[in-house]
Each structure stands twice: as structure tokens, then as C-alpha cells.
Amino acid sequence: VARESTAAFAPGRVNLIGEHTDYNRGLALPMAIEEGITVRAQVHSGGSPHERRIHASALELGEEDEFQIEHPQRAGGWRAFVRGVACELTSTGFALPAADVQISGRLPRGVGLSSSAALEVALCLALLDLAPAGSGSLERREIAQLCSRVESDWVGARTGLLDQLASLYGAAGSAMVIDFLTLEIELVPLTLEGWRLAVLDSGERHVHASSGYNRRRAECERACQLLGVASLRDATAERASDLPHPLDRRVRHVIEENQRVRDTVAALAAGDLPAVGELLTRSHESLRDCFEVCTPGVDAVVAGVLRAGATGARMVGGGFGGSVLALFKPGHPLPAAAREVRPGPGAQLVA
């Protein structure tokens, strides 16, 4: 018997290190955070069986949306994610019922904490739970792929799987190393011994679709063609240095960033938090100078927080604005604007 009502929670994420590696089949070390998005959904009995509709409310925004499940029209903002998830689930074969959906959560939007992935994943879990028994199921990796299709086909950002996998596979107290070549995910205990991670909003908003994100992806694809490799996972530093500018720098970032992920995992295992801080700062410099996705405003926040005594800091997420992640040693006060982040559980159905 199909369920009449359900609720799902999906967390945002912070990527400790491994930026712009996901769509290059590299490595990343994200964690789900404690804050996220909750989607409640109830089957809606009214309406005609020929025109099943979803009515959605974004509670914090005080905004609503309503659309036909079979033929959703395009829309902007948060509506694109909701319509996109419903449409992708329908085309995957799930006969979604007419439903009322309420979206809530205190995850700030547009600051690099992946509120959009949290929304997609929570909605996907909730709607799947309402789909009639027998319509099948999706594995978590398939849910991540479906949500990523929503980003590219409905929102126009050709993002990778980092944000959705982090939200789906998070675990309290752990980060996870994701290998985007095999999609293997391994939890990495985040034993901080009093050290603290915090994010600072740069105040500069980023909009992936209109930013250089897609351009960076295209540059990486071009570099693969020139190098004759299937992905930058197979690129070597020697060959990369022969590429024309700026492709040489782009590839160098990806190769070195993968190595920084491995080094961070080793430093965490050894309890060497100063080394983790150093790797964060190296990652930032590479994103700024080689991958060129950092804005002056975000760079100034990194410089400021390092001056204020952080052990390491870097821009997080796709870049072109967004947030900064910083590591502070035990007892060091956090800057007033910083919000501490802790690794929280992954997406799940909730009561």
C-alpha cells in the first residue's frame, strides 16, 4: 500500500578538499553538515486523475508553485529544482501521485553549502516514498545521478555528483572520500580533538549557470581531447605542461588537488591538523591562481581569516563567489561572522 504522507531530510555539505575534481573523475573529501532541508509531502486526493498536480510551498520564502506532474513547464529559482525532480522521476518510470509538498530548512542559499542539492535529494526521497509500491526503487547513487540531471537539464549548471553524494552518504562524525572514477565512497572519521571548522559567507553570490563553471568544465574536456585521455584522472603533470595556456594550469590544479585529497586523508589519520590547515590553504591558492575560480572578495575573506589566526582557509564549492572554509586550533575564538560546521548524518526519511 502506498503511503499517504511522508517527510525527508537532506543535509547541505561542506567539501573539505578536492574542488573541481568530481567531473574530472578525481577525488574529493566532503562531509554532510548538520543543517539541511526538510520536505514534507502528502498525497492529494482531489483533482482529476488525468491531470495530477503537485502543489509546493517554500515555507521560509513564503512562495508557492503548482504544476502538472506529466508536463511541467520550465520555471526559475527553487521551482526549477522541484519541477525537475518530479519530471525526472516520472520519466524514470515512477507514477507519482498528486501531492502537496512543503519545503523548509535553515540552510542559507547561494553561499556554497549546497542548498540546491539538499532540496533535490530531500524531495526525491519524499516523492519516491509516495510512489505506489511496485514502481521500483532507486539506489542512492542513482538518486545522485538523477538530481545531477536536474541541475544540468533544468537549471543549466553542468555540475558533477559531489554535492548530491555528500548529502546522500553523510554520517555523523565523518567526512567521506569519494572516488569519482569508480563512485566508491569511504567514510573518513573526522577526529578534530577540539579543532573547529567554520564557514564564512563572502557576501558575494554565485549563480553557477551564469558563471564560469560550465566554461571550466569545457576547458577540462578540451584538455582531455588534446591529451588523448578519457578523463583528467589519466593526465600527468609532464604532459599537462605542454598544453596551451590556460589549459596547462587547469590540469595542473586537478592533478595536484587529487593528491591534496590523499594527503589530507593521511594527515587526518595521523591526527596532524596543522598539515590539514596547510593543505586547505594550498588548495585555495591553486583554485585562485591555476583554476581561476576565486573572486577578489572571496580571496580577501581567506586572507582576513588567516590573518585572524586560522590555521588554514580556502574558498569552497564551485567558486565565483560563495563561502570560505577555515580551520581553527583548539581554543582559538571564531570570527563573529563564522558559523561552525560539524559532520552530520546523510539524507533520510524522518517522522
Residue 42 backbone phi and psi in degrees, to 5: -130, 140
Residue nearer to ligand GLA on the CB measure, 20 or 196: 20
Give the interface with ligand GLA as residue ranges (CB under 6 A).
19-20, 22-23, 159-160, 162-163, 317-318
Describe the strand order of the beta sheet including 196-201 as a list of residue ranges: 312-315, 323-328, 196-201, 339-341
Residue 77's contacts (CB-CB under 8 Å, 6 or more residues apart) are none
Question: CB of 217: closest distance to ligand GLA in angstroms?
Answer: 8
Q: Decide whether 144 or 267 has the Cβ nearer to ligand GLA.
A: 144
SS3 content of the chain, % helix, strand, coil (to 5): 35, 25, 40
Cα–Cα dist 345/55, whole Å: 28
- At residue 87's C-alpha, the angle toward residues 86 and 92, to 5°, is 100
Residue holding cell 567558486?
319
Q: Are 16 and 325 in contact (CB under 8 A)?
A: yes
CB closer to ligand GLA out of 6 and 159 = 159
Distance of alpha carbon 302 from alpha carbon 193, whole angstroms: 23
- CA dist., res. 58 & res. 61, Å (int): 6
Nearer to ligand GLA, 67 or 78 (CB): 78
Smallest separation (angstroms) from ligand GLA to the CB of 293: 8
Q: How far is the CB of 52 from ligand GLA (least distance, A)?
A: 31
Q: How far is the CB of 271 from ligand GLA (least distance, A)?
A: 26
Containing 188, the helix (H) or strand (E) segment is: strand 184-189
Q: Name the residue nearer to ligand GLA (CB basis): 173 or 212.
A: 212
* Short-list 14, 16, 12, 18, CA closest to 287: 18
289 part of the active site: no
Euclidean distance between CA atoms 102 and 60, whole angstroms:
10
Minimal distance in Å, beta carbon 159 to ligand GLA? 3
Smallest distance, ligand GLA to C-beta of residue 170, A: 15
Q: In this structure, are residues 265 and 29 in contact, taking their beta carbons and an 8 Å threshold?
A: yes
- The span from the CA of 329 to the CA of 277, in Å, is 9
Q: Which among 158, 115, 121 has a CA at the least distance from the CA of 140?
A: 121
Choosing from 65, 163, 201, 263, which is the catalytic residue? 163
Residue closer to ligand GLA by CB (options 40, 206) is: 206
Which residues are part of the catalytic machinery? Answer: 163
